[in-house]
Amino acid sequence: MRVILLFCGALSVSGAFADEAELTAALADARSSCAGISDSIKKLQVMAGINTAVTGIGTVAAGGALFAGIKKAQTDKVRSELGKMLAEFARNPEEMSDVQFLILLDKMAEKISQDKLKECLAEAEAESKRLGYWRTGLMAGNTATHIGGAIISHKNKNDGGEIKDMIAGCVDSAQKLHNASMQAVFDGVNAGLVAEAREIADKCGGWNMKDAESVPKWQDVAKWTSIVGIGVGAAGTTTSIIANTEKVREAGRQTPEGKKAEEGWNLASNILAGTATAASGVATGFNIATLAKIDKLLKKAGECEEALR
């Protein structure tokens, strides 16, 4: 009987040692799987912040291009009216109706001379050109920000996917550690070791996988939005350049068809500027939302790594 009891006691001690070894192994696996995730998330946070700034600048640039285009359209209307007034002065009074002649006399009475009209027309012409150059430059700048945004978003998508896998591995290790700690309690393993294991399992097992999964998904949306923005921005830059060429402007001054064509180029450029503004705004919105998710992940990573210390 005594031999049997000694044998059973030996088996019990041997089992406790085996369970402690299993718990120690699970602890080591959790430490390996969960350590250092915050460093990767911080790098992602920096890049996402840069991307938000880049696409934000793109939104401002495209919005500025749209504003410049609208102001240019208004200036072109003034330019057209001034041209008509000059044409009226150039006409022979005998060709005018009584009403037209009285209007011309009224304008002259207000000291609106032909020279003054020419001066105003020149100012409107210069202002229209200047606004056209602004629009072109801002659209080119918006295109550049979309290129940068697409590159950064692509990198963030890949890095976010890797971090998601790291977090999934950490969660899996934490679950295994939790199971090992539960078994260790029943087998009377060292209470201090069990408490340490449980804290790590709790802190490192509570990740929100939806937050982790949303980062690469949203960065993919931001990437493709920026790619669309590249095409729109390039087209807007091209149409703005064409609209502001001397050939198109001169045709707009000479014939109704030329004026219609000039207005068409300017309208197309303004529409593209508005579309580019929307694309930049969407990309910026997804980048801001991504940053919010990254902040949550970083907070959880800090809690987990604090338990690992």
- pLDDT at position 10, please? 42
133 pLDDT higher than 90: no
Structure tokens that stand for 251 in this block: 């045709």
Task: Answer yes or no: are the C-beta atoms of 209 and 186 closer than 8 Å.
Answer: no
Q: How far is CA 83 from CA 122, 243, 248, 253, 297, in A?
A: 10, 19, 16, 8, 63
Cα 252 to its chain centre, rounded Å, is 38
Give the Cα separation of 63 and 26 in Å (integer): 55
Structure tokens that stand for 157 in this block: 């998508």
104 pLDDT higher than 70: no
- In order, the DSSP letters of 22-33 are HHHHHHHHHHHH
Query: Mean pLDDT over all residues of the chain?
Result: 82
Q: What is the mean pLDDT of residues 251-279?
A: 86
Task: Answer yes or no: are the C-beta atoms of 241 and 139 closer than 8 Å.
Answer: no
Cα 142 to its chain centre, rounded Å, is 12
pLDDT, one tens digit per residue, over 276-299 is 999 999 999 999 999 999 999 999
Give the Cα separation of 179 and 258 in Å (integer): 79
Structure-model confidence comparison of residues 251 and 287, the more confident one: 287
- pLDDT at position 55, please? 92
Confidence band for 230, pLDDT divided at 50, 70 and 90:
very high
CA quadruple 68, 71, 77, 79: dihedral, nearest 10: -70
Cα 195 to its chain centre, rounded Å, is 44
Confidence band for 100, pLDDT divided at 50, 70 and 90:
low
- pLDDT at position 113, please? 59
Nearest alpha-carbon partner for 227 in 67, 66, 55: 55
- pLDDT at position 143, please? 93
Q: Where are the alpha helices (DSSP H) in the chain?
A: 2-34, 37-90, 98-109, 114-186, 191-204, 209-243, 246-254, 256-308
Q: What DSSP designation does 96 have?
A: S
Q: What is the mean pLDDT of residues 199-222?
A: 90
Q: How far is CA 151 from CA 31, 146, 233, 238, 268, in A?
A: 33, 9, 16, 23, 28
Determine if residue 103 is left, alpha or beta; phi over 0 gives left, psi from -120 to 50 gives alpha, anything else beta.
alpha
Cα 188 to its chain centre, rounded Å, is 55
Give the Cα separation of 125 and 122 in Å (integer): 5
pLDDT, one tens digit per residue, over 134-187 is 888 899 999 999 999 999 999 999 999 999 999 999 999 999 988 888 887 777
Phi and psi for 257 in degrees, rounded to 5?
Answer: -65, -40
- pLDDT at position 254, please? 80
Spell out the domain ranges in the chain: 37-71+133-308
- pLDDT at position 4, please? 41
Residues near 25 by beta carbon (within 8 Å), at least 6 away in sequence: none
